[in-house]
Structure 1
Amino acid sequence: MTAAIPELDAPVPATLPVGVASAISCRGRCRTGGRPLAGVTLRASGANHRAQWLPDGQFWATVPVPAAARPGTIALEALVRVAGGPEERLPLAEIEVVAPPAAAPASGTAAAGPETVFVCMATFDPDLALLRAQLESLRAQSDPAWVCLISDDCSSEHSFDGLLELVGDDRRFVVSRSERRLGFYRNFERALSLVPAQAELIALCDQDDRWHPDKLAVLRAALPGATLVYSDQRLVTAGGRLLRATLWHGRRNNHTNLASMLIANSITGAASLMRREVLDLALPFPEVAGYQFHDHWLGLVALSLGEIAYVDRPLYDYVQHAGAVFGDVTQGRPDGPAARRARGARRARRGARREARRAAYFYGYLPRQAQACAVLARGGACIAPRKRRALAGFIACDRSAFAFAWLLARSLRCLVGRNETLATELELAQGIAWRWFEAIRQRLAARAGRLGEPAPPPALDAFSQRRLRRWRATL
């Protein structure tokens, strides 16, 4: 009889394309019948990868998967050992390696030349007035060499009909509707997958902004020597009233430091123009826990491969409206004079802090670790040695005291004006510290026979990134 039954908390990708390396983020738990877990190793593509684990049955790992030369199946297995028992080899999941479909040229793209910019727009139930303004600002570009690929994320019939009406018979726009709801991260991935093989230049576009007439021309002129270029932006209301003349109020911009880029993104997708090699390495997007942002992944890939250029003036208006609100960043104090209520409030705060640190590890540190692993797996020798060292150093932060100290020390950069990460390192370090202390706590509990059931995954919004949220709230 099997002593442990491993299961994943979230599915791994169902498919991977032939010829593309990746890194699979795995997190799950073992049902062990009340006995402490004593070790987990994950196996894929003939290689073993040591997982991290806790005695209550939780385990997790980022598993590098080398590029497969032909279609087939990757079996993901867990080598599990329960206290007092032998190691067992148990199935976890299967990933199909598939040949990428031969994409037929979309209408309007066949005649596009190497200088054509393919503008990828992701839409979902857009505000049609804002969408009209965005499309008209694209039509008004002084650089005429562009085609716009629109991936609609299964909008309502009313919204989709409105989109088609606004596009009209303009053959520079190609509209493709997803059969199911993907979410903005996967919808941007889908939009980028529509880019034809001959494309050399790719831009991203939101559904509700307004581009300045020279946006594409200025970005194109600034791109030589860089893998990606992006600009500043104005923040405006839906009615066009200026809220802020620059995005970088209260936070330092960054387009040169790879570790800072990994820790806290500074690239806005809609401000960017990139080269084909960024797209080739970025697709397919990795599946990571927590909130997923396409522009963070693309910026990380671009800076890993080469240099990023920056145009220090706004080239579009970023429209602020209800859908862009990040929520309240303030927290009220517990009221009432009763000591009992005060003690309850303190207990609640302690519980919230523990939950926040747990979430900082699982939704803050581990997703960034998985992104770094994916970049290294795909980029290999194309990444400069110093950048490979930066990525490898971050990956080691939850296993190496030296790497952990480096991460913690980085939070002090704010004291000398280098606040591009807004000290997010401190929250990530608190998450790693939680993981270490939790392992000690559970081992002691297991020895005392008081080990409980594995905790469910933390709430997604428990990883608050307080300083980053406060900065966003000023936008």
Structure 2
Amino acid sequence: MKQPKVLIMMSTYNGERYISEQMDSLIAQVQVETQIYIRDDGSTDSTMEKLRLYAEVYPGRIHIRSEHNLGVIRSFFELMQSSPSTFDYYAFCDQDDVWEQDKLIRAITLLQTMNSSIPLLYCSSTQMVDQNLTPIGVWPKVPQKQLTFYNALVENSCVGCTMVMNDITFNQIRGSLPSDFNELIMHDWWIYLYVCTFGEVIFDEHPAIMYRQHQGNVLGGSRDGLIQKWRKRLDRFMNGNNHYILSRQARQFLTTYEDHLTRTQIEEMRNLLHILEKSVIHRLWYACKTPFHRQSLLDDVVLKFVIIAGKL
């Protein structure tokens, strides 16, 4: 039986410490035919030297190039633009995690149960580990509400390093990229929002990757208690961090895909964006009835508070 062809896309930056463990886990993937495309985003350490060694051992399977620093969002979209469109599935990959051997085939098996004629996206929980791969906890938990446009516009439930997309998702997104990457919160959120809007997302509760938490990659808030989460959210809001990032990304999404959205979706997005220009009374009224929502009660309260404050 022919094995699925999967392209793994990795953006690296000063990842010398953990890159070998990740590469070994990618090469060890079972029941799939893989190629690995790597764009180094201007590393100044020995990342490229280590990657070249892998490319020499696996010629034709590992493709690497070193380019100037663009930042993580642009780097991953550049990978999408420059990668071939001849694969069955496409996966994003971070430089410092470790994948289980069946990570890809598990994702593909689940994707193959879905409607293959529409954009599809797989994502999963992760096994968070410390720098020595000691388990910390599983994150994120399985979303309790449907992964729809009305949730995805205001919350990302998909961890980018777990994402596997079908060829339709890959080709449609790279064929209509946003005009201003600075308006995007993150590349994975944009793709997640696209598929929630035009296709289907499947969330796997099994953590098929070890998601390493270290000094250069600390997942804020995932291990915090309720009080700590509230305090961090309040601090970010009071300091002006994250003001308007949701509305900016939503506006860019509307600009990019308006011709493909339903009339209802367009009206709901415009209502959300326009309410920010109204009085606080109007914003309070809208926050109580908005169709846009987040997964947890805590995060949904925060969303309503940000709408009322006019800082979405």
> Is this a same-fold pair by TM over 0.5?
yes
- Asked if 2 retains the 8 angstrom alpha-carbon contact of 1:233 and 1:247, the reply is yes
Q: Are residues 1:372 and 2:253 paired?
A: yes
Aligned match of 1:228: 121
SS at match of 1:238: coil
Q: Are residues 1:155 and 2:12 paired?
A: no
Structure 2: how far apart are the matches of 1:412 and 1:143?
40
Aligned match of 2:162: 271
Greater helix content: 2
Cα distance, 1:163–1:405 mapped onto 2, change above 3 Å? farther
Aligned match of 2:90: 202
Letter in 1 for 2:57: D
Aligned match of 1:137: 25
Q: Deviations over 1:422-467 (max 9, x none)?
A: 53423431442x7xxxxxxxxxxxxxxxxxxxxxxxxxxxx9xxxx
Aligned match of 2:34: 146
- Asked if 1 retains the 8 angstrom alpha-carbon contact of 2:123 and 2:163, the reply is yes
SS at match of 1:186: helix
Q: Deviations over 1:163-206 (max 9, x none)?
A: 2124433131111221x110111111111122213234211011
Q: Are residues 1:425 and 2:303 paired?
A: yes
Structure 2: how far apart are the matches of 1:127 and 1:323?
12
Cα distance, 1:240–1:360 mapped onto 2, change above 3 Å? closer
Q: Are residues 1:117 and 2:6 paired?
A: yes
- Asked if 1 retains the 8 angstrom alpha-carbon contact of 2:41 and 2:66, the reply is yes
Aligned match of 1:61: none
Aligned match of 2:203: 310
- Asked if 2 retains the 8 angstrom alpha-carbon contact of 1:254 and 1:266, the reply is no
- Asked if 1 retains the 8 angstrom alpha-carbon contact of 2:185 and 2:249, the reply is no
Q: Deviations over 1:329-385 (max 9, x none)?
A: 969x9xxxxxxxxxxxxxxx9xx84x63xx654x334323323313533xx34x455
Cα distance, 1:427–1:153 mapped onto 2, change above 3 Å? farther
Aligned-pair Cα RMSD in Å: 3.5
Structure 2: how far apart are the matches of 1:299 and 1:420?
22
Structure 2, unpaired ranges of 5+: none
**What TM-score does the superposition give when structure 2 sets the normalisation length?**
0.79
- Asked if 1 retains the 8 angstrom alpha-carbon contact of 2:123 and 2:159, the reply is yes
Q: Are residues 1:241 and 2:134 paired?
A: yes
- Asked if 2 retains the 8 angstrom alpha-carbon contact of 1:118 and 1:148, the reply is yes
Cα distance, 1:217–1:320 mapped onto 2, change above 3 Å? same
Cα distance, 1:173–1:297 mapped onto 2, change above 3 Å? same
Work out which of the two has the higher radius of gyration on C-alpha atoms and give 1 or 2.
1
Cα distance, 1:222–1:385 mapped onto 2, change above 3 Å? farther
Cα distance, 1:114–1:221 mapped onto 2, change above 3 Å? closer
Letter in 1 for 2:49: D
Q: What is the aligned length?
A: 291
Structure 1, unpaired ranges of 5+: 1-112, 334-348, 435-462, 464-475
Cα distance, 1:407–1:259 mapped onto 2, change above 3 Å? farther
Structure 1: how far apart are the matches of 2:290 and 2:4?
41
Aligned match of 2:75: 187
SS at match of 1:324: coil
SS at match of 1:188: helix
Structure 2: how far apart are the matches of 1:365 and 1:311?
26
**What TM-score does the superposition give when structure 1 sets the normalisation length?**
0.54
Q: Which has the higher contact order (CA 8 A, sep 6+)?
A: 2
Aligned match of 2:285: 405
- Asked if 2 retains the 8 angstrom alpha-carbon contact of 1:267 and 1:296, the reply is yes
Structure 1: how far apart are the matches of 2:290 and 2:158?
20
Structure 1: how far apart are the matches of 2:52 and 2:211?
23
Q: Pairwise mapping of residues 42-441 of structure 1 onto structure 2 (< 5 A)?
A: 115-128=4-17, 130-156=18-44, 158-170=46-58, 171-178=60-67, 180-223=68-111, 224-225=114-115, 227-248=120-141, 252=143, 256-283=147-174, 284-287=177-180, 292-325=185-218, 353=238, 356=240, 361=243, 363-377=244-258, 380-381=259-260, 383=261, 387-399=265-277, 405-409=285-289, 418-419=296-297, 421-432=299-310
Provide the identity percentage: 19
Greater strand content: 1
